[in-house]
């Protein structure tokens, strides 16, 4: 055993050596061939122990990416045997550097099941497990004389933007980046607006289906190193490609300056939201605020009433020409597979919804615009796509925090489900990007859930309507409408009061994946509230109280002066 | 230069230098008796007293009162660790304000001195200050009224019982179990003997590790989506659910529970919870619908082996009484 100070010295020397070996060539001698980092034999014992406690469950006993969890994961865990690693600083097809693997282990791969290990394992364990993983590569050899790697030089962020949100890239660079995207046909896989909806037929090196990244959800980018908005991540991926996947490198096709502009464009598509440091996902907006309107609510999704930027206004201020309502915003709803009951869904294709709402005093009706990204929609009428809002059927009977069971309610507390089933008109999943979008063929179903196995269609409908809908470049938009109160003879329709917190949750079915019934994506219970109009007292009370306070101040002056006068006259001390 | 202005400049510059320069240096990752935040705070206070003494500034009592109050605020807001919630901060600051007031009014002379600038503002000897105060305060009151009348809604806070009292018996797969004294049938040996054993590697040679491997396999087929690859409750679906999935690494979960409690929780899941634990929101499946009894026991065995925690145990008398009926 080394004593503590000697250990520190040794760590320092190792760090120095790594810096010299890796750092120098990559900056000064860019694009010089070099040997991959050899396997550090003395680390293998600790590496093996770490691997068989922590990694084997997904990556398998021999590193074939076939651990117990593998079959129920999308994307599957990496198969190490061929030596194909996604996140590298080396050229396409080449082995990674130790520091690349260490980075991946430390930060995890967002959007997949690979968690960040930086806080769980010690640096020594991480270095060691990386060495052990290198020995699991069978088809290639990190110690081989013939293996060469070219470490790329990515240059520096030309705009000097900083994290976490990397705002302040000039619009000109973003616009140029968009042109570069079009010239290089990135849309063929990533879709016309970058939602990854370009190509449904892609496979990885092992023949498993794989999708292009959705650029508008950068928190799911692999290799984003828990620094989701940093354009460097995109520059690296574009420069090196992702080994094992159809993502090629554009090192020779696009100059490094242009790759930074392309990255700026890609990152500009990702809404700035507060990201939870623990889960690396945006923090959900647990209260959906429905905004007040005196007159009727517009059913046109382009009406200013329905306009709000995707960005959190506290992070990125709204554009100066913003015409929408002051407090209107998109609410982020997190979704997961229904893995609780019945036929469980381990591979949901939609992991979030965005919701906006308005209500009208004149119409006595509430509108919810539900939006979500789905790369491909159903082309099989037997499995239509669907999205639903779930409400407590008997809100007035609930006491305190009480709610129905969040999947289809329970025997005592039924739920009211507004479900939109839809097929896209004139659509095929292999169509080229269509800037006009597609219309949807929507049918509304109103369901009553009285328990997981007891979901039935309502006998008397509550009058839920879908007043507008669209599928546009990988994004579904559905606008629900219902009157606040209904006749409700069977006591199954939610009666919507204003100024009250009402539980609501969301269900979603991807027909393309043949999801149906309980095989779906779900959210937990959220709350919605119909925000009332600003009270008139808001406008007359402030001046009244201001004047009253001024009067009080005048009284104070008078009192003080009087006391002083009396003191001067000797009446008081 | 006026002593008051000099003093204010030295306070502001000194605070900035201390807060941005010295404070980060005084918080090393590992605790030290010298370099820590409280020693830092004492140094800062010493600086504040020191420069006044050395330069013989003799600040007016109003400035002293203000500085004392602000130093208290600084301590509670920035120095005290871990940070306190704002409700507590308000309570502390109220006490601190009373203390500051006592300091100001310790005798009639200092109190009169403290009052002097206020009185001068009120009766108009300080003209500028009077205009500012008499116009700004009513405007502020008006603005505050406006803000308080604007309808604002925050997400309601909901409390729940994390570890509810278990029932005396539970029925799983048609068999009834008395939880008191119920043991994990696969805990055939002392867990600590297997600290340096490994799943898969030692599964063939050690019966205990065979159960751990099988339990881990079930965990990574079913449970990691929520409870996480690291058993820390941060699985890939965890952020969706509210309540968030249990973190087994935390000393407040399986480390303080009995295996029979886990057996009941795993078998019955969210729907089996009593009302105070908000069963309607829990995404925990009733695992008896998906797993066999022995699989549930093996997952529990794995969770303890992986995290290194030991389950709470029963005394001998109740151990004898419990188990399958």
- Nearest chain B residue to A339 by CA distance is B285
Last residue of a domain, one of A150, A185, A212: A150
**Contact B153/A529, CB-based, under 8 Å?**
yes
Q: Cβ distance A504 to A288 under 8 Å? A: yes
The pLDDT tens digits for B11-46 are: 999 999 999 999 988 887 677 888 889 999 999 999
In-domain check, residue B266: yes
Q: Do A533 and A516 meet the contact criterion of CB atoms below 8 Å apart?
A: no
Interchain pair A549, B238: CB under 8 A: no
Same domain, B199 and B123: no
Residue A487 and residue A387 share a domain: yes
Phi-psi domain of A192 (left: phi exceeds 0; alpha: psi -120 through 50; beta: other): alpha
User: For residue A101, which of A135, A129, A81 has the smallest C-alpha distance?
Assistant: A129
Instruction: List, for residues B148-193, the tens digit of each pLDDT value.
Output: 998 889 888 888 888 899 999 999 999 999 998 899 999 999 999 9
According to DSSP, the residues that pair with A440 across neighbouring strands are: A424
* Size of chain A in residues: 573
pLDDT at B322 over 80: no
Range 410-469 of A in CB contact (< 8 A) with B: 410, 413
DSSP code of A472?
Answer: E
Task: Print the domain residue range for A559.
Answer: 541-573
Asked if residue B136 belongs to a domain, the reply is yes
B231, B303 contact by CB (below 8 A): yes
Residue A163 lies in a domain: no
* Residue A190 in this model has a pLDDT that exceeds 90: yes
Minimum Cα–Cα distance from B118: chain A residue: A560
Between the alpha carbon of residue B211 and those of residues A468, B202, B216, the distances in Å are: 55, 11, 8
Is there a contact between A525 and B242 if contact means CB atoms under 8 Å apart?
Answer: yes
Within 361-420 of A, beta carbons closer than 8 Å to B belong to: 401-406, 410, 413
Say whether both A480 and A559 belong to one domain: no
CB A81 within 8 A of CB A66: no
| Inside any domain, residue A30 | yes
Count CB-CB contacts under 10 A for residue A552: 12
What residue has token string 């860019």? A30
Claim to verify: residue A96 and residue A220 sit in the same structural domain: no
- CB atoms under 10 Å from CB of A549, counted, come to 18
Q: Give the Å distances, CA to CA, from A463 to A330, A416, A494.
A: 25, 12, 11
Whether the pLDDT of residue A382 is over 50: the answer is yes
Residue B35 to chain A, least CA–CA distance (Å): 20
Assigned token pair, B285: 């499946």
Clarify whether residues A554 and A525 are in a common domain.
no
Tell whether B107 and B194 lie within a shared domain: no
Say if residues A217 and A94 touch (Cβ distance below 8 Å). Answer: no
Scan residues 31-90 of B and list those with Cβ closer than 8 Å to A: none
Residues B236 and B192 occupy one common structural domain = yes
Which candidate, A416, A443, A385, A412, places its Cα nearest to that of A504? A416
User: Cβ contact (<8 Å) for A560 and B123?
Assistant: yes
CA distance B150 to A326: 13
* Domain annotation covers residue A395: yes
Asked if A406 lies within 8 A of B134 by C-beta distance, the reply is no
According to the model, what pLDDT value does residue B158 have? 84
- The answer to whether residues A239 and A336 belong to one domain is no
Asked if A495 and A488 touch (Cβ cutoff 8 Å), the reply is yes
**What does the pLDDT read at residue A245?**
95
Rounded CA-CA distance A479/A290 in Å is 13
Inter-residue contact A270 to A216 (CB < 8 Å): yes
Distance from chain centroid for Cα A438: 24
CB A161 within 8 A of CB A168: yes
Helix (H, G, I), strand (E, B) or coil at B28: coil
Helix locations, A220-348, DSSP H: 231-240, 256-268
A203 in contact with B, Cβ within 8 Å: no
Residue whose C-alpha is closest to residue A343's, from A465, A520, A130:
A520
Same domain, B176 and B320: yes
Query: Which pLDDT value is given to residue A14?
Result: 61
> Chain A 468-507, CB below 8 Å of chain B: which residues?
499, 501
Residue B163: inside a domain, yes or no?
no
CATH of the domain at A212: 1.10.760.10
- The C-alpha of A341 sits at a distance from chain B's nearest C-alpha, in angstroms, of 6
Sequence-ordered alpha helix ranges (H) in A447-511: none
Per-residue confidence at A4, pLDDT binned at 50, 70, 90?
low
Shared domain for B8 and B127, answered yes or no, is yes
Q: What is the ipTM score, two decimals?
A: 0.89
Check CB contact under 8 Å for A535 and B149: yes
In a domain, B159, yes or no: no
Query: Residues B71, B174: one domain?
Result: no
| Interface touch B123/A339, C-beta < 8 Å | no
Q: How many CA atoms lie within 13 A of A184 on its CB side?
A: 21
- The one-character DSSP state at A210 is -
SS3 A209: strand
What b-and-e string marks burial along A162-179, b requiring 16 or more CB atoms within 10 Å of the CB? Answer: eeebbeebeeebbebbbe
Q: Name the pLDDT band for B120 (thresholds 50, 70, 90).
A: confident
Residue A321: Cβ-neighbour burial (10 angstroms; 0-12, 13-18, 19+): exposed
User: Is the residue at B78 inside a domain?
Assistant: yes
Question: What is the number of structural domains in chain B?
Answer: 2
How far apart are the C-alpha atoms of B107 and A431, rounded to whole Å? 86
Whole-angstrom Cα distance, residue A125 to residue A127?
Answer: 6
B9 and B93 housed in the same domain? yes
Question: Nearest-CA distance from A442 to chain B in Å?
Answer: 27
pLDDT band at A1 (very low <50, low <70, confident <90, very high): very low
Same domain for B127 and B222: no
User: What CATH number should be reported for the domain holding residue B279?
Assistant: 1.10.760
Report yes or no on A164 lying in a domain.
no
User: In the predicted model, is pLDDT for residue A84 greater than 90?
Assistant: yes
Structure-token pair, residue A560: 């003080």
Give the model confidence (pLDDT) of A317-363 as tens digits: 888 888 888 889 999 999 999 999 999 999 999 999 999 999 999 99
CA separation for the pair A200, A530 (Å, rounded): 40
Instruction: Using CB atoms, pick whichever of B150, B201, B216 lies closest to residue A538.
Output: B150
Q: Which of B81, B116, B149 is the last residue of a domain?
A: B149
Model confidence pLDDT, tens digit, residues A474-506: 999 999 999 999 999 989 999 999 999 999 999
3-state secondary structure of B147: helix
Contact B137 A337 (CB under 8 A): no
**Do A104 and A18 have their domain in common?**
yes
Interface test with B, best of A4, A68, A409, A557 (most B CBs within 10 A): A68
- For residue A22, pLDDT beyond 60: no
- Using CA atoms, how far apart are residues A317 and A308, in angstroms rounded to an integer? 11
Per residue in A526-569, pLDDT (tens digit) is 999 999 998 999 999 999 999 999 999 999 999 988 988 888 88
Q: What is the rounded distance in angstroms from the CA atom of residue A418 to the CA atom of residue A488?
A: 15
Q: Are residues A215 and A291 in the same domain?
A: no
Across A417-437, average pLDDT: 94
Closest-CA distance of chain B to residue A259, Å? 31
Question: How far is B201 from A260, CA to CA, in rounded Å?
Answer: 47
Check whether residue B182 and residue B301 sit in a common domain.
yes
Q: Is the pTM of this model over 0.90?
A: no
One domain for residues B265 and B207: yes
Distance from CA of A283 to the nearest CA of B (A): 8
Residue B140: pLDDT over 90 = yes
Determine what percent of chain A is predicted with pLDDT higher than 70: 94
Kindly state the tokens that stand for A317.
Answer: 């201020």
Same-domain status, B71 and B211: no
Q: Does one domain contain both B249 and B121?
A: no
Q: Do B224 and A334 touch (CB under 8 A)?
A: no
DSSP character for B180?
A: T
- SS3 assignment, position B27: coil
The domain tally of chain A equals 4
Residues A136 and A262 in one domain: no
Q: How many residues does chain B have?
A: 325
Alpha-carbon gap: B74 to the closest alpha carbon of chain A (Å):
26
């Amino acid at each position: 055993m080394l004593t503590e100070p000697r250990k520190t010295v040794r760590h320092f020397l190792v760090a120095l050596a790594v810096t010299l070996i890796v750092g120098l060539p990559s900056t000064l001698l860019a694009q010089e061939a070099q040997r991959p980092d050899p396997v550090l034999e003395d680390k293998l014992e600790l590496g093996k122990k770490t691997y068989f406690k922590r990694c084997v469950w997904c990556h398998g006993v021999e590193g074939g990416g076939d651990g117990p969890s593998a079959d129920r994961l999308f994307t599957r865990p990496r198969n190490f045997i061929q030596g194909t690693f996604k996140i590298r600083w080396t050229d396409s097809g080449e082995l990674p550097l130790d520091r690349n693997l260490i980075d991946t282990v430390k930060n995890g791969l967002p959007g997949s099941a690979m968690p960040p290990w930086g806080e769980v394992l010690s640096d020594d364990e991480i270095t060691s497990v990386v060495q052990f993983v290198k020995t699991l590569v069978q088809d290639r050899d990190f110690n081989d004389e013939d293996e060469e790697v070219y470490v790329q030089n990515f240059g520096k962020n030309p705009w000097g933007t900083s994290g976490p949100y990397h705002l302040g890239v000039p619009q000109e660079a973003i616009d140029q980046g968009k042109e570069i995207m079009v010239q290089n046909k990135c849309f063929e896989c990533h879709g016309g607006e970058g939602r990854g909806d370009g190509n449904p037929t892609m496979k990885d090196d092992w023949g498993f289906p794989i999708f292009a990244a959705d650029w508008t959800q950068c928190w799911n980018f692999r290799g984003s190193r828990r620094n989701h908005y940093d354009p460097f991540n995109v520059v690296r991926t574009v420069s090196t490609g992702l080994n094992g996947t159809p993502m090629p490198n554009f090192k020779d096709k696009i100059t490094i300056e242009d790759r930074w502009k392309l990255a700026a464009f890609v990152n500009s598509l990702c809404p700035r939201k507060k990201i939870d440091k623990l889960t690396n996902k945006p923090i959900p907006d647990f209260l959906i605020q429905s905004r007040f309107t005196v007159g009727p609510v517009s059913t046109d999704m382009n009406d200013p009433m329905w306009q709000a930027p995707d960005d959190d206004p506290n992070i990125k201020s709204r554009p100066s020409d913003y015409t929408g309502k002051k407090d209107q915003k998109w609410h982020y709803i997190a979704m997961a597979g229904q893995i609780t009951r019945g036929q469980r869904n381990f591979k949901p294709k939609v992991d979030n919804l965005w919701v906006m709402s308005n209500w009208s005093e004149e119409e006595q009706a509430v509108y919810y615009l539900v939006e979500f990204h789905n790369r491909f929609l159903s082309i099989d009428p037997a499995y239509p796509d669907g999205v639903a809002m779930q409400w407590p059927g008997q809100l007035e009977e609930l006491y305190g925090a009480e709610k129905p069971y969040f999947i289809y309610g329970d025997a005592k507390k039924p739920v009211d489900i507004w479900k939109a089933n839809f097929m896209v008109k004139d659509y095929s999943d292999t169509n080229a990007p269509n800037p006009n979008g597609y219309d949807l063929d929507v049918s509304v179903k109103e369901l009553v859930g009285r328990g997981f196995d007891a979901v039935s269609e309502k006998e008397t409908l509550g009058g839920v309507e879908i007043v507008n809908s669209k599928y546009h470049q990988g994004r579904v938009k559905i606008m629900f409408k219902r009157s606040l109160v209904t006749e409700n003879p069977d006591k199954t329709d939610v009666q919507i009061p204003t100024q009250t917190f009402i539980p609501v949750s969301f269900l979603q079915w991807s027909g393309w994946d043949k999801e149906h019934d309980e095989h779906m994506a779900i959210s937990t219970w959220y709350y919605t509230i119909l925000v009332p109009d600003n009270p008139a007292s808001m406008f007359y009370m402030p001046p009244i109280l201001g004047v009253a306070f001024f009067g009080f101040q005048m009284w104070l002056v008078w009192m003080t002066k009087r006391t002083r006068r009396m003191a001067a006259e000797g009446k008081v001390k | 230069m006026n002593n008051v202005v000099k003093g204010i400049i030295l306070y502001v510059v000194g605070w900035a230098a201390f807060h941005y320069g010295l404070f980060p240096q005084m918080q090393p990752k590992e605790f030290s008796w010298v370099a820590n935040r409280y020693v830092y705070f004492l140094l800062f206070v010493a600086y504040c007293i020191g420069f006044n003494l050395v330069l013989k500034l003799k600040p007016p009592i109003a400035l002293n009162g203000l500085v004392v109050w602000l130093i208290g605020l600084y301590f509670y807001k920035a120095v005290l660790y871990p940070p306190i919630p704002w409700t507590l901060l308000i309570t502390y600051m109220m006490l601190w304000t009373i203390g500051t007031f006592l300091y100001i009014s310790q005798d009639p002379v200092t109190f009169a001195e403290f009052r002097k600038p206020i009185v001068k503002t009120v009766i108009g000897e300080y003209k500028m200050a009077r205009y500012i105060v008499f116009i700004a305060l009513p405007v502020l009151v008006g603005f505050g009224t406006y803000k308080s009348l604007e309808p604002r809604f925050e997400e309601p806070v909901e409390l729940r019982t994390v570890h509810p009292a278990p029932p005396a018996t539970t029925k799983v797969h048609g068999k009834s179990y008395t939880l008191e004294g119920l043991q994990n049938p696969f805990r055939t040996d002392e867990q600590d003997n297997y600290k340096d054993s490994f799943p898969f590697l030692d599964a063939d040679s050690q019966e205990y590790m065979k159960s751990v491997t099988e339990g881990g396999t079930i965990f990574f087929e079913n449970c990691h989506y929520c409870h996480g690859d690291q058993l820390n409750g941060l699985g890939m679906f965890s952020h969706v659910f509210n309540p968030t999935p249990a973190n087994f690494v935390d000393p407040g979960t399986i480390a303080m529970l009995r295996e029979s409690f886990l057996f009941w929780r795993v078998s019955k899941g969210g729907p089996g919870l009593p009302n105070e634990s908000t069963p309607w929101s829990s995404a925990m499946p009733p695992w008896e619908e998906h797993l066999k009894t022995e699989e549930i026991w093996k997952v529990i065995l794995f969770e303890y082996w992986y995290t290194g925690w030991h389950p709470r145990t029963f005394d001998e008398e109740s151990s004898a009484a419990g188990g399958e009926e």
